[in-house]
Amino acid sequence: FHHAVKRLKQWLSSGAAEEDMQVIDERRLQGFSHFMLKMGSASVREDIARIAILEKRYGDGIRLIADANQGWT
């Protein structure tokens, strides 16, 4: 069970949407479906734009999880 859960989630750096898409495309082929986005190193506006780009490309095909870790405080 632990192995199955681990393969569902992939952490992404606090990079740009283009970098995220490269990782997402590769990991989806390996069976990953949930992606945790490190947030808070850019402005809130930039973080929202990043999510919007990813949502537009992948729609409901993947799950995105925002991880700000006090980055927005």
Q: Is the pLDDT of residue 1 over 50?
A: no
What's this model's pTM, rounded to 2 decimal places?
Answer: 0.79
CA 49/CA 20 separation, integer angstroms? 13
Q: Is the pLDDT of residue 2 over 50?
A: no
Element (H, E) at 34: strand 34-38
CA 52/CA 3 separation, integer angstroms? 30
Q: What tokens appear for 4 in the block?
A: 């199955």
pLDDT digits (tens, 9 = 90+) for 24-51: 999 999 889 999 888 888 888 999 999 9
